[in-house]
Each structure stands twice: as structure tokens, then as C-alpha cells.
Structure 1
């Protein structure tokens, strides 16, 4: 099962308020994929392993410009009450990109233990 890092939104994954994520790259993702959400995917010390936060199933993937995000989707990203402009600025700073950058908008649902089976 492929790993997906939620280091910047761990609390939102743990409380299951996040149901959409935007990623640069991720051209391989498709509906039905199971992903293991982890705190981080890189930068481990010897012997350290990824800490699982949740298993999610991809519902929909589409490519769009980052600045096409709506306030409603900002809430689904785990930031209710924040604006689209706020999210775009935060994303661009973290990912070193521009508002015009094409990103993968990945919508997902949470899979309870035993529901999703093994890796696909």
C-alpha cells in the first residue's frame, strides 16, 4: 500500500475532518486506491519507521490549478474558516510553487480496520 504523508495536517486526519488533499505530482493516483496515511514518509533516523495515522481510499482525482480551490474545499482540506487565498499562500510557501501550479486534488474516505483488506 502506497504511503501518503499528512505531516502538516495530522490532527485533521486523526479527527477525520480532512477529506481532500492537494499534491504536486501524484499523477498515478486513481479512484479506488488504498493509501496508508502516515506522519511522514522521509527523513527517518536509523530504525525509525512511518507512524500510521489512517488508511484512506481515493474517491476521486482530478488535476486543477491550485488557485481554483474554493473556500468549501479549504474546509475539506482541514481548515474550516480559512479563505482560499490563505490556503494558496500557505501551500505555495510550503511547496515552493505558484498559485498557477497544476496540482492533483485527491478526495478520499476513511477505511476502518478490516474494511479495506490488504494492499492493492
Structure 2
């Protein structure tokens, strides 16, 4: 059974398949080839709420990486913001948004997960 992964903040990007990278706190156990169920929300469901699945994805690259990389290498940061589903942002803007919502700082190691969409 595939593990669920939430895309609560990027549901639109997932549905439009404009998101190809996600960063997570934890998730260090993932490896290339793992299949995941993208969901709107996986945790904190109220009684009676059900998981809404968005689609299946397969991990094609996974590695630890601090957000500082998005700032130190501006072209890389811009490219990563686009892959994260935020084409209007630059790396430093994406890093600031990520920290605001997920905590930590620029040097905190995150798990960068690159994926492809699987056809249903």
C-alpha cells in the first residue's frame, strides 16, 4: 500500500501537474521508485472527514538539502521555485514562505523530493 503525502498548500499545483518537487521536514526514509498517494490533507482530519486523494506519484530523486542553497545559487533557487509550483517566485521568496509555514531556518536540512505523476 502506498503511503499518503499531503499537498494541502499546493493542491492546485498538484491538480494542474505544475509541481514536480516538494520539500519536507523528515521523510528521510524515501527512496527512488517509491510510489506515494498525493492527498489534499492526510492528518488532522475531523470526525467524518475522509482523505481526498489527488493522484499517485513516483519518487525520481530524493536528497537532503538546506534552503540556503536556494539563496546561495540564485539560478538554482529560481528553477526550484518553478519546480515547486511557484513560477512567480525566486528562491529566496520560496525559502521565506517555506520557513514561515514549516518552521526552522535556512540551514535546517530538508528532504527534497522530486517526483513524476503516474497515470491512473
Shared fold (TM-score greater than 0.5)? yes
Q: What is the aligned partner in structure 1 of residue 47 from structure 2?
A: 46
Q: What is the aligned partner in structure 1 of residue 37 from structure 2?
A: 36
Give the distance between the partners of 2:17 and 2:83, measured in 1 at CA. Answer: 10
Shift of 1:2: 0.3
What does 1:18-97 align with in structure 2 at a 5 Å threshold? 18-69=19-70, 70-97=77-104
Secondary structure of the equivalent of 2:8? Answer: coil
Query: May I ask how many residue pairs the two structures share in their alignment?
Result: 113
- What's the TM-score once normalised by structure 2's chain length? 0.91
Q: What is the aligned partner in structure 1 of residue 73 from structure 2?
A: none
Shift of 1:61: 0.3
Shift >6 Å, 4+ stretches = none
Shift of 1:42: 1.1
Q: Considering fraction of residues, name the structure with more helix.
A: 2
Q: What is the aligned partner in structure 2 of residue 111 from structure 1?
A: 118
Please list every run of 5 or more consecutive structure 2 residues that lacks an aligned counterpart in the other structure.
71-76
